[in-house]
Amino acid sequence: MKKIDIDFHRSANKKSLLGLIVLLCGLLSGIFVLSMRHDLSEKLAEIESTGIKKHRPNGHQHAEDGSVLQDAANQLSLPWGSLFALIEELSSDDILIQNLEGDGHSRTIKIVAQAPHAEAMLDYLERLKSSDKFSVKWRLLSHHKDENGALNFVIQSEFPENNE
Find the helix or strand (DSSP H, E) in which 29 lies: helix 17-50
Across the range 152-158, mean pLDDT stands at 90
For residue range 69-107, list pLDDT tens digits in order: 666 666 666 667 777 887 788 888 888 889 888 887 777
Please name each of the domains of the chain with its CATH number: 73-158 (3.30.1360.100)
- CA separation, residue 51 to residues 39, 42, 62, 63, 71 (Å): 18, 14, 10, 7, 16
pTM of this prediction exceeds 0.75: no
- Does 136 have pLDDT greater than 90? no
User: Each residue of 79-107: b (16+ CB within 10 Å) or e?
Assistant: beeebeebbeebeeeebeeeeeebebeeb
Of 43-47, 133-137, 149-153, the poorest mean pLDDT is in 133-137
Q: How confident is the model at residue 135 (pLDDT cuts 50, 70, 90)?
A: low
